[in-house]
Amino acid sequence: MILATSIDMASSWSSFWSTVQSATGIGPFLQLLSFIGVGMLIFSLVTWLFALRRSGSFKANADHHKLILGIIIGAVLAAPSVLVPAFLSLFDVIINFIIGLLPSL
């Protein structure tokens, strides 16, 4: 079997994060922060793409610090609910693929 399912870090993280949210009682607030973080990421990237389109060059755009600051703040806000599960799911697929290839070697 190519994609073995012996590693599942994403569901463990989801279980841990839902426990933290229910134990602290601020689950809806953390979900709101995640929505704001994803919105900031999307807004920063779209604004940067429009500025890049207008200027025609990455170096001509002098507002790189706004882009970087928006991405950092958005990523920090969205990380526990969006980015960490996405990266863990990607790592699950890669590790399970490697594990699936090991018996055939």
Q: What is the pLDDT of residue 82?
A: 86
Integer angstrom CA distances of residue 24 from 18, 20, 30, 79, 99:
10, 6, 10, 18, 37
- Taking 80 as the threshold, does the pLDDT of residue 1 lie above it? no
Q: What is the pLDDT of residue 64?
A: 76
Percent of the chain with pLDDT over 70: 83
* pLDDT tens per residue across span 38-79: 999 999 888 888 877 777 665 655 567 778 888 899 989 888
| Domain residue extents for the chain | 9-104
